[in-house]
Amino acid sequence: MSENQYEIIALELAILARRVASMTTYRKTSDLDRSHYLLLHQIHTRGSAGVKILAEEFHLNVSTVSRQAASLEEKGFVTRIPDPIDGRAFTLQITPAGEQALTIYRQERTTRMQELLASWTREELDTFGDLLARFNRTF
């Protein structure tokens, strides 16, 4: 691959990041933002988890995830479950309100993607999804 191709990919990713951020900022109808969505999705998918595990999963520092978790807890979307061995530690568990918020947010994002990609073929969607997943795994 030529240096120009890497430059094109870097530019297109920057444009994509800007557009996704704009889309979620100005069309926001739920109580979640992207960081909340990702944490709730992770807890929903993998079960209750501690802040340290979540920070490792998302390659973030613990203080960032702690702030996000505190915000989710304040909204009633997660609860803290104390660790029976270490009284200082806890895991986060999604609440019914968190499940509902996650479902609504996920549907909003899915609907928006369906609108944006309506003209794409099934093969193009499959390829794009596979390549995005592969790209994300490289981190």
Tell how many helices (H) and how many strands (E) occur in the chain.
6, 2
pTM for the full predicted model: 0.81
Q: Report the C-alpha gap between 106 and 110 in whole angstroms.
A: 6
What's the topology of domain 31-125? Arc Repressor Mutant, subunit A (1.10.10)
DSSP 126: H
pLDDT 10s digits, 34-77? 889 999 999 999 999 999 999 999 999 999 999 999 999 999 99
pLDDT 10s digits, 113-134? 999 999 999 999 999 999 999 9
Q: Measuring CA to CA, which residue among 90, 51, 93 is closest to residue 76?
A: 93
CA 3 to mean position of chain CA atoms: 31
- Please state, as a whole number, how many other Cβ atoms lie within 10 Å of the Cβ of residue 89: 14
